Amino acid sequence: MKPPAKTNAARILDQLAIPYELRPYEVDLEDLTAINVARKIGLPPEQVFKTLLTESSSGEHFFAVIPGDAELDLKKLAQATAQKKLDLASLKQVEPLTGYIRGGVTVLAAKKPFPAYADETIELFDIISVSAGQRGLQLILSPADYLRATAATLADLTK
């Protein structure tokens, strides 16, 4: 099997001299959940982090990076970002704002560099997985390297 093509997210890690592994998986369009991805790449769901785009009432956007088996607590994220209220961005906004489609969103190399917030549990693991910027491809790397590459702020973000 030939190695997967590099994504812009992987190129950013290369520029920062951050080691990572590209891990491809078979995409199931009926089930784009992080739990399904975790099963396919052989990691526990809590180590496969999903990236969600949120929007404040004033139109500011923030990325939330949370474990695949968890639910985002919008109140906690609003508190972390000093916003009154946050909602998930609509699916039709995600691609124009990030350059990525659902199931392939990543903070790395997003079209616009919105502030990123990562759930504090990210630091519990030796390795984590995040989308490489396309469906069917995950980046495996250390949490510290991910946080360095994304400049994400740690916070308690889940319910």
With contact defined as beta carbons under 8 Å apart, do 108 and 146 qualify? no
Residues 62-97 have pLDDT tens digits of 999 999 999 999 999 999 999 999 999 999 999 999
Position 53 scores a pLDDT of 98
Q: What is the CATH number of domain 8-155?
A: 3.90.960.10
User: Averaged over 110-132, what is the pLDDT?
Assistant: 97
Mean pLDDT across the chain, nearest whole number? Answer: 95
Continuous segment of H or E residues that includes residue 145: helix 143-150
User: Averaged over 113-142, what is the pLDDT?
Assistant: 97
With contact defined as beta carbons under 8 Å apart, do 41 and 48 qualify? yes
Position 5 scores a pLDDT of 79
What is the residue extent of each domain of the chain? Answer: 8-155
Position 1 scores a pLDDT of 57
Position 4 scores a pLDDT of 75
At 2, is the pLDDT very low, low, confident or very high (cuts 50, 70, 90)?
low
Residues 11-21 have pLDDT tens digits of 999 999 999 99
Position 63 scores a pLDDT of 98
For 153, how many CA atoms within 13 A lie in the half-sphere containing its CB? 14
